[in-house]
Amino acid sequence: MRLDKFLKVSRIIKRRPVAKTVVDGGKAKINGKTAKAGTVVKTGDILELEYYDKYFKFEIVEVPEGNVPKEKSNDLIKVLDSRGIEVDLSSDKEILE
């Protein structure tokens, strides 16, 4: 399954066009390598994602054949890490003033 489709099916990102934009913007890695929207994901892959000001690291537990019910979407991934990304605003004086 393509990465952008997996992000939508697993409900990590709600809409596939948004998933494609995030991934193609260089904000996703599969097994440590920068991924594209069309990268095929497999069970056992480690997915790292920067989305807004958050960082997520998931293990892909299951890749479904198609769409899945909302209740089952959490079973597709295992969250390994989740945290906010610190933004350094000290260099931008206009924002601080």
Digits of tens for pLDDT over the chain (97 positions)? Answer: 999 999 999 999 999 999 999 999 999 999 999 999 999 999 999 999 998 889 999 999 999 998 899 999 889 999 999 888 665 545 444 443 3
* pLDDT recorded at residue 91: 47
* pLDDT recorded at residue 84: 82
CATH number at residue 88: 3.10.290.10
* CA angle centred on 18, ends 13 and 22, rounded to 5°: 90
Structure-token pair, residue 43: 């069970």
Considering its fold, how many domains does the chain have in total? 1
* pLDDT recorded at residue 93: 40
* pLDDT recorded at residue 85: 66
Range of the domain at 72: 3-96
